[in-house]
């Protein structure tokens, strides 16, 4: 462990940190979310936030927990931030998004943009034309706590949120426990690429379900304690995301074998 981080962990409860740099704790989901956060400690969100903390001279501790626990922990003040979160009105009680001059979520200060796609069994008649679903007679699988469930429910579909594991969801699809699965596109494709036998039984519909920005949410406690720091963090996210350094890291990460 890096010596500075070791000291941070030792003295976190005392509110001090080696180097006198502000220490923040951010949580993220404890499952692979390719290419943004992986269980091996890699991912483009982590690459981006690494650049942010270097630029602002912060010390950041990352904690991997189930997504619902991450959000509730931020709401209770256990974590200073949570990522990556799409905008949902009910999440405003849990923490804060970067906002523009009109008080709306500021997509310019997003971490990234993600797309959602519907996956079905090969040979299935389940369909989505961008406006409506057809031939869905059973449940549609969605990762527990993820915002895509709102779109599915709005179309009158029954949603199965029994799993936090995207691989398990796709296996449920193959075994007929759900009619279709709604996943972030790059995440679903990554799972299928890594599991050729599964990929021979599952296909992705061409029409996107949804495309939306994802943010670093910051806690209400952090905003109350140091609103200027919060704004600096969000603005630095935009600056670093648009930087040549980050773009080079994106290209290098996506070019890695198996990615």
User: In a structure prediction context, what are the per-residue pLDDT tens digits for the chain, which is 259 residues long?
Assistant: 443 444 344 334 434 444 456 799 999 999 998 899 999 999 999 999 999 999 999 999 999 999 999 999 999 999 999 999 999 999 999 999 999 999 999 999 999 999 999 999 999 999 999 999 999 999 999 998 888 999 999 999 999 999 989 999 999 999 999 999 999 898 899 899 989 999 999 999 999 999 999 999 999 999 999 999 999 999 999 999 999 999 999 988 887 765 5
222 and 94 share a domain?
yes
pTM comes to: 0.76
Give how many domains the chain has, as a whole number: 2
Q: Looking at the structure, do residues 19 and 101 belong to the same domain, yes or no?
A: yes
Gap between the Cα atoms of 49 and 56, Å rounded: 10
Buried b (16+ CB within 10 A) or exposed e, 24-55: bbbbbbbbbbbbbbbeeeebbbbbbbebbbee
- Angle of CA points 197, 134, 204, to nearest 5°: 25
- Asked whether 57 and 71 are in contact (CB, 8 A), the reply is no
239: tokens are 């600056």
- B/e letters for 228-246, b = 16+ CB within 10 Å, e = fewer, are ebbeebbbbbbebbeeeeb
Reduced to 3 states (helix: H, G, I; strand: E, B; else coil), residue 120 is: strand
Give yes or no: residues 98 and 68 share one domain.
Answer: yes
Q: What is the CATH number of the domain that holds 133?
A: 3.40.190.10
Question: Which domain range does residue 7 map to?
Answer: 3-111+213-254
Long-range contacts of 73-78 (CB under 8 A, 24+ apart): 73/27, 74/27, 74/217, 74/219, 75/219, 75/220, 77/219, 77/220, 77/221, 78/25, 78/27
Cis, peptide link before residue 137, omega less than 30° from 0? no
For residues 242 and 202, state if they share a domain.
Answer: no
């Amino acid at each position: 462990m890096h010596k500075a981080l070791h000291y941070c962990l030792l003295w976190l409860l005392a509110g001090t940190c080696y180097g006198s740099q502000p220490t923040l704790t951010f949580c993220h989901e404890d499952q692979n979310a390719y290419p943004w956060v992986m269980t091996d400690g890699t991912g483009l969100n982590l690459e981006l936030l690494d650049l942010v903390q270097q630029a602002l001279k912060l010390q950041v501790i990352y904690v991997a927990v189930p997504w619902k626990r991450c959000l509730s922990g931020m709401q209770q003040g256990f974590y200073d931030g949570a990522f990556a979160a799409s905008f949902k009105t009910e999440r405003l009680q849990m923490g804060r998004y970067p906002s523009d001059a009109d008080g709306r979520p500021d997509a310019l200060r997003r971490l990234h943009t993600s797309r959602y796609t519907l996956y079905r069994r090969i040979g299935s008649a389940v369909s989505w034309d961008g406006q409506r679903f057809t031939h869905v007679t059973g449940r549609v699988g969605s990762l527990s706590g993820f915002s895509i469930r709102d779109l599915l429910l709005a179309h009158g579909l029954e949603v199965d949120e029994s799993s936090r594991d995207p691989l398990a969801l796709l296996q449920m699809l193959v075994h007929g426990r759900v009619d279709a699965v709604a996943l972030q596109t790059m995440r679903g494709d990554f799972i299928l690429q890594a599991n050729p036998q599964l990929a021979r039984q599952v296909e992705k519909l061409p029409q996107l379900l949804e495309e939306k920005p994802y943010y670093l949410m910051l806690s209400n406690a952090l905003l109350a304690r140091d609103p200027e720091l919060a704004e600096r963090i969000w603005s630095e996210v935009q600056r670093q995301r648009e930087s040549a350094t980050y773009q080079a890291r994106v290209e290098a990460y996506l070019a890695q074998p198996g990615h």
